[in-house]
Amino acid sequence: DQNSYVICATRQRSSGSCLKPFIYCQAFDLGLAWPEQIVSDEMLSFSGYQPKNNDNQNFKRIAIEDALRLSRNVPAVELRNKIGLNKFEEKMVSLSLLSSDNTTNSGLSSAIGGISVNLLALTNAYTVFARDGNFKQYTWLLNEKKSQTNRLFTSNSVNRMKQCLIHNESLHFYAKTGTSWGPRDAWCIGY
C-alpha cells in the first residue's frame, strides 16, 4: 500500500527556523543588516502579528549574528518585514523552495516556519552558501539535463552568513537548526 510509508525527503513539512539564513543573507545583500549590527529582541507587533521566541524570553538588544545563531524569532520577522513580502517569496522561488504558482503570500510567519518545504529542496537550497552564492537545481539522474547555475547572493553576503552559521571553525562546519510547529519536527541543515 502506497499510503503505508512516507518518503521523508520529499514530504512537505514546516520549515521552522531553517529559512532564517536566507532572510539574513538577503538582508545583507540589500544593505538592511550586517552581522555586528545591534537590533531589538523585544516583543513587537506587526499589524497585530506578534512573534514570540521559543523560550518566551526576549533580550533587549542583540547582535544580528547572535540573533541568528540563537534563532531569535523577533529579529528574523522584523528583517523579513523590511525585505518585503514579494522580494522574499521571489527569493524562495529562485531557491526552489516555493513554486511560482504557489506564492501564497505566506506573510511574516514564513520567517519562523510558515512555509512548508521538503528535505530535498531545503538541503539543495543550502548549497547556495557552500557555492559562494550560486544556486543549481539538483538532478535525479546522471543523464538528466543539467540546470543552469544562478547567482542568488553576493560573495560578501555569503561570507557574512558563514560567520553567523559557523559551528566548528577547524572543520569548516556550518549549520542551522529549526523546530516546526508543535514541536513536531527537528531540522539540522549543514555543510
Pairwise CA distance, residues 180 & 88, whole Å:
20
Answering whether pTM is above 0.85, one says yes
Please choose, from the candidates 103, 48, 41, 107, the residue with its C-alpha nearest in 3D space to the C-alpha of residue 76: 41
Please name the residues in contact with 180: beta carbons below 8 A apart, sequence gap of 6 or more: 13, 14, 15, 16, 113, 186, 187
Q: What are phi and psi of 49, to 5 degrees?
A: -85, 125
Mean pLDDT for each consecutive 10-residue tract of the chain (191 residues)? 68 89 97 95 88 85 94 94 92 91 73 89 94 91 82 96 84 85 79 86
User: Do 54 and 23 meet the contact criterion of CB atoms below 8 Å apart?
Assistant: no
Give me the pLDDT at residue 8, please: 77
Give me the pLDDT at residue 104, please: 59
Please name the residues in contact with 63: beta carbons below 8 A apart, sequence gap of 6 or more: 35, 36, 37, 38, 39
